[in-house]
Amino acid sequence: AADDRVQLNAGKVLGNYQSLTLLGRGGMGVVLKARHIRMERTVALKVLRSQAMSSPHSVKRFQQEVRAAAKLSHPNIVTAYDADEVDQIHFLVMEYVEGQDLSALVKKNGPLSVETATNYILQAARGLTFAHSKGVVHRDIKPANLLLDKKGKIKILDMGLARFEQEVGPRSSTGAGTLTQSEQMMGTIDYLPPEQAEDPEHQDAHCVVQS
């Protein structure tokens, strides 16, 4: 968007990282392909939009995504390398995965075979099982958040709506003290489990599995 403070022109520098190309846009941020200037390692940068940076709630949610990503090191989850703030611009540094998400893949090539779909679901389940073992619940699993690399490996991405199971407390009608506001829908409607629609604050691994 034109109002982004980071216009992401090739060569834009954020700390130790130089942007190369724009990979995608989301509601809260943009994702860049970038390179570490000294290490010459290619990475993906998720940068919080300027409009989101003006919202304390959005900044807290982004910080929660950073915390969730830091807990997770697994072959089926996109690895987070670093997080930083430069000139009041918040960004998360992740591994760059050359490939495409399953939503784009199906749109391009049509439905997957049962065998292939089962393989991808199993890989995603392994990643989610590991996340649950660390107390992290994703809350927005969908084809667009499952990235397929060139070797056929599935990588779960986008922890923007993730929550920590240890943060589950007494049920409250106000949502006070949480990042989920009362009566606010969390997730993507097409893939949303009914219990998450009813009570997004108190989702845990058991709810996700049962869905």
**Signed CA dihedral, 7, 143, 125, 188: sign only:** positive
pLDDT at residue 18 in the model? 93
pLDDT at residue 24 in the model? 84
- Global confidence as pTM: 0.74
Q: Residue 140 catalytic?
A: yes
Half-sphere exposure of 6 (CA within 13 A, CB side): 35
Q: Look at residue 190 and give its three-state secondary structure.
A: helix
pLDDT at residue 71 in the model? 83
Q: Which residues of the chain have pLDDT under 70?
A: 1-10, 27, 51-52, 160-211
Instruction: State the amino acid at position 13 in one-letter form.
Output: V
Do 24 and 104 contact (CB within 8 A), yes or no? no
Q: Look at residue 203 and give its three-state secondary structure.
A: coil
pLDDT at residue 180 in the model? 40
pLDDT at residue 187 in the model? 52
Which of 93, 94, 111 lies closest to 102, judged by CA?
Answer: 111
**In the block, residue with structure tokens 């670093």:** 82
Q: Which of 3, 82, 87, 140 is catalytic?
A: 140
pLDDT at residue 65 in the model? 79
